[in-house]
Amino acid sequence: MNKERVVVAMSGGVDSSLTAALLKKEGYEVIGITMQIWPSTENPKEDEGGCCSLSAVEDARRVANKLDIPFYVVNFKDLFEEKVIQDFKDEYAKARTPNPCIMCNREIKFGAFLQKAKELDAYYMATGHYAKIDQNQQGRYIIRKAIDESKDQSYTLYNMTQEQLKHTLFPLAEYKKTQTRELAKEFGLRVHNKPDSQEICFVPDDDYNRFLKENYPEIIEPGPILDLEGNKLGEHDGLPFYTIGQRKGLDLQTHKKWYVVELDQERNAVIVGDNEDVFAESLIADDLNWIAIESLSDSMKVKAKIRYNTSAAEATIYPLKDNQVKVVFDHPQRAITPGQSVVFYDQDIVVGGGLIK
């Protein structure tokens, strides 16, 4: 493989565009690739700004032309539908709340895309993620948080393997987002002020309920809303429309504030309680991946993050059988949600992570 060649995943946004520009400036032979992953059930319009829209492909192509680098569009539609969208549906069908961006990183960006880079004889692939790849004293590849903590994406990368880390570059690790936009402007990239895409790429309007209703009506079945004692308080529209900690949208004819405490798949019931009932001291996680360590053989103090947009909390992790861990928090955490990922940190280093059961 050619150590000077790098394939950049270009989404048409400012981060991936600057990634390509910086690497070219450093002297790499850069190839830009946009992954075509929008599913056939959707019809992205030209004016949609998400990472999978047709206009995003054109933005990426224009940046590649500006940088004078080869540019290709690679069709990952079927694989994306099989690995990411199917998992999204399956998790909701099990009364869990998935994070499709983490699945996409695992299966598509650092799985299939890296394989494509190797087929092009590139030693490296690169993305616009805000995270830092480093090596510890033992030579093990590790992930550190980005300089810009408000943009840090290390949480979504905990599934990366040593082989993937060895062949991946994250040039934006040392930049703040404001610097990224300024640099992109200096490079003459038209996307320097393009807004960040917030929604999931295959749900362009961010309306999960509509997406699930239209595409997977078979997993949606109305049922009872029960309190913790089993008393029926009302009816729900289908378990996929609710998540742990939710208060709005319950439409219960009562003055009391109710919160979703559990989604009971067996009874097809939404269980509600008081706000304090949404807090828990521990969780079990499986489907684990370790980055900073080979495996967990003893208890370990960490900071554990139970979703992307919350702060990490002090905790102790304990190894269990069947590649599972128990996470015990120093202080109870709100809305621990099955299907979401829990990621463990030692200061700014990602130790590893797994899926909350």
The rounded radius of gyration (Å) of the Cα atoms in the chain is: 22
Q: How many CB atoms lie within 10 A of CB 269?
A: 19
Q: How many CB atoms lie within 10 A of CB 312?
A: 16
Amino acid identity of residue 135, one-letter, is: Q
Contact 276, 335 (CB under 8 A): no
Tell me how far apart the alpha carbons of residues 253 and 243 are, in angstroms, rounded to a whole number: 20
Q: Is 215 exposed, middle or buried (0-12, 13-18, 19+ CB in 10 A)?
A: middle
* Residues with a known catalytic role: 104, 201
- Stretch (H or E) spanning 66: helix 54-67
**Adjacency order of strands within the sheet including 259-264:** 232-236, 223-227, 269-273, 259-264
Q: Which two tokens stand for residue 47?
A: 């004016």
Nearest to 9 by CA among 105, 85, 102, 98: 105
The residue with tokens 């004889």 is: 121
Tell me how far apart the alpha carbons of residues 169 and 23 are, in angstroms, rounded to a whole number: 9
